Structure 1
């Protein structure tokens, strides 16, 4: 998937990750590129992907160039391609999900802020239930730091419908506000530092591995790494010559 695309900006990386969210493990590179293009493709419209906040983000660019940008994000370990049966699907890497969960929680909190401005009562809060637990706890951590007591009706409505761990954290947020405890800003600083590190994607490079049979070093190229990663294969233990001279196998 190598291409000549220059380093993408942090905003572009975030936009591509956000556009990928509704099709994770359900769609591939081509579909993601069509979302970013703002395509009127039948599948895009049938799946209502035109409602994605990043739909049309690269509207003025060619689809071919958008695919190259998506591949850059994959090459730099923000997204990965995994096979579900014979179909290659987009999934988040650990660093990609760290970035996406951070921006998605901000998006959810901004929605609450709009509700407060509009004087909107708490809606059915089950829309937050069964979301990724780590992301939900991150959202509550940010809400605690934000300290807006106008959120309390939403928190109380949420507490009634979610699981115990989330209910406990909601009560903790309200308790801290009620007792006017000082919020330790260290957690926020650490979180922001880790997010910055996650966005600083390093370029892929060939690896030099040691053959367990002959002991010689052999090159494991970027292309080979991507092939093995897509199919969830472990790293090769033997060089090409030793594999060809004996029984070939790949450990899962």
Structure 2
């Protein structure tokens, strides 16, 4: 005999007409660590900064948005999460009988952009603090859409300071990514020659 899945009951607050874009980004950033793994309750605990066993077991205390809503109640946080579901930034899917959160196309586009910005900011601090060779292995198995967006952002800066970092990155990544890295490097060198 098959069990029917219980639908997830979302909370809608009529007083919450819209959510500031920064809050949407914050919720999507917090959700990144538990996409297809956890649901609304776990996301609520992450945003409230809970030290619950399931939060710590998954290492979610290192999430950049951990504790961002510690001043709000569970109900208030859940209403904000549900708002992002109602407005198609996140959706609930089932992994077996467990309801888990996944990005929608709109939610993923925002998170991809936000994550690419974080990586480029990390490059800036890496260039300011470290010496060559730069350890770029942490980027090797990242989502290719994010990686290509990072490379677009570097190309758009037209700043040659990224060349040493790109050279070290090209040594360790896959062929398609290496080809795009070389293309960005050529663009930066061409821009530098054009400016002079």
* TM-score normalised by structure 2 residue count: 0.88
For structure 2, the residue ranges without an aligned partner over 5 or more in a row are 1-9
May I ask how many residue pairs the two structures share in their alignment? Answer: 183
Partner of 1:176: 187
- What is the Cα deviation at residue 45 of structure 1? 1.2
The alignment's TM-score, normalised by the length of structure 1, stands at 0.69
Query: Do 1:115 and 1:121's aligned partners in 2 also have CA atoms closer than 8 Å?
Result: no
Corresponding residue of 2:124 = 113
**Shift in alpha-carbon separation, 1:177–1:13, aligned structure 2, 3 A:** same
Out of 12, 37, 61, the position equivalent to 1:3 is 12
Could you report, residue by residue, the CA deviation over 1:3-44 in whole angstroms, capped at 9, with x for unpaired residues? 113311000000000000011101100001111001111111
| Aligned with residue 28 of structure 2, among 17, 22, 29 | 17
CA contact (8 A) 2:35 2:103 kept: yes
Q: How does 1:221-236 map to 2 (within 5 A)?
A: none
Query: What displacement does 1:130 show?
Result: 2.0
1:91 CA drift (Å): 0.4
Partner of 2:87: 76
Partner of 2:148: 137
Task: Determine the C-alpha separation between the residues in 2 that align with 1:69 and 1:50.
Answer: 20
Counterparts in 2 of 1:81 and 1:142: CA distance versus 1, 3 Å? same
Give distance in 2, aligned partners of 1:123 and 1:31.
35
CA contact under 8 A between 2:11 and 2:78: conserved in structure 1?
no
Cα offset for 1:122? Answer: 4.3
**1:170-192 CA distance string (max 9 Å, x none):** 00111111122799xxxxxxxxx
